[in-house]
Amino acid sequence: MKEPNDILVESRVKDFATQVAGLTRINSNDEYSRLAHALVDLRRAQEYVTARKERLTVPAREIISTADGYFGGAQKQISDTEATLKRLLGEYIDRRLPEVKEASKDAIASGDMLALASSMVVVPNVSGITLRNDVDFIVEDENMVPDEFWKVPEIHGAKVKTALREGRDIPGIRRQDRISLAISTKDSK
């Protein structure tokens, strides 16, 4: 249930959004100051909303925690057992495929169509289980794989920034200082 402060905060947030919607540029120190104060107020509103949401969701988290306590063990057993069964069934299919291929060749060679039809059954048809042909791959030589099939590794930004702050030079990277804005809702004394 919404409290009066919730409605007030929602209204202030809408006001902030309306003020900012048409802005493309700050033209004076007064405007900067007004908008910087609005940004701090907006952060306070965010903190209020986060805290309210947290208070409202505590009972739900407690219920979920209780449910996990009741069923968590069973869920893990189900998951582990399912993985084991999938592995065992998959291994059986892998063993059956060469047998089926051989039986099919023999049936074709003998011209026995009934034997051919029965040899095509890899595993019994079971309701709820479907066999699909999936594509998988094994990399045999990474050096031969064309570039288009590689993901470009990302640069580790935190490590780079730390090294640059320490004054280290990094080949291929140029330091570019910039000013960033930090928001604090704590009153300075």
pLDDT in tens, 152-187: 778 888 999 999 999 999 999 988 888 777 778 887
Is it the case that residue 1 has pLDDT exceeding 80? no
pLDDT digits (tens, 9 = 90+) for 73-120: 899 999 999 999 999 998 898 888 888 888 888 889 998 888 888 877
DSSP the chain: ---HHHHHHHHHHHHHHHHHHT-----SHHHHHHHHHHHHHHHHHHHHHHHHHHHHHHHHHHHHHHHHHHHHHHHHHHHHHHHHHHHHHHHHHHHHHHHHHHHHHHHHHHT-HHHHHHHT-SS---TT-----------S-GGGS-GGGSPPPPP-HHHHHHHHHTT---TT-------------SPP-
Residue 3 amino acid letter: E
* CA 177 remoteness from chain centre: 32
Asked whether the beta carbons of 157 and 165 are under 8 A apart, the reply is no
With cut-offs at 50, 70 and 90, classify the pLDDT of residue 62. very high
Asked whether the beta carbons of 122 and 94 are under 8 A apart, the reply is no
Placement of tokens 């582990």 in the chain: 80
Is it the case that residue 188 has pLDDT exceeding 70? no
Cα–Cα distance for residue pair 48/40, rounded to 1 Å: 12
With cut-offs at 50, 70 and 90, classify the pLDDT of residue 2. confident
Neighbouring CB atoms inside 10 A of 39's CB total 14
Neighbouring CB atoms inside 10 A of 119's CB total 19
Q: Which of 94, 101, 90 is nearest to 129 (CA)?
A: 90
Q: For residue 189, what pLDDT is reported?
A: 55
Q: For residue 97, what pLDDT is reported?
A: 86
pLDDT digits (tens, 9 = 90+) for 18-48: 888 888 889 999 999 988 988 898 899 999 9
Q: For residue 183, what pLDDT is reported?
A: 79
Q: Which of 163, 185, 184, 182 is nearest to 174 (CA)?
A: 163
With cut-offs at 50, 70 and 90, classify the pLDDT of residue 51. very high
Average of pLDDT values for 146-150? 84
pTM of the full structure: 0.48
Average of pLDDT values for 53-82? 91
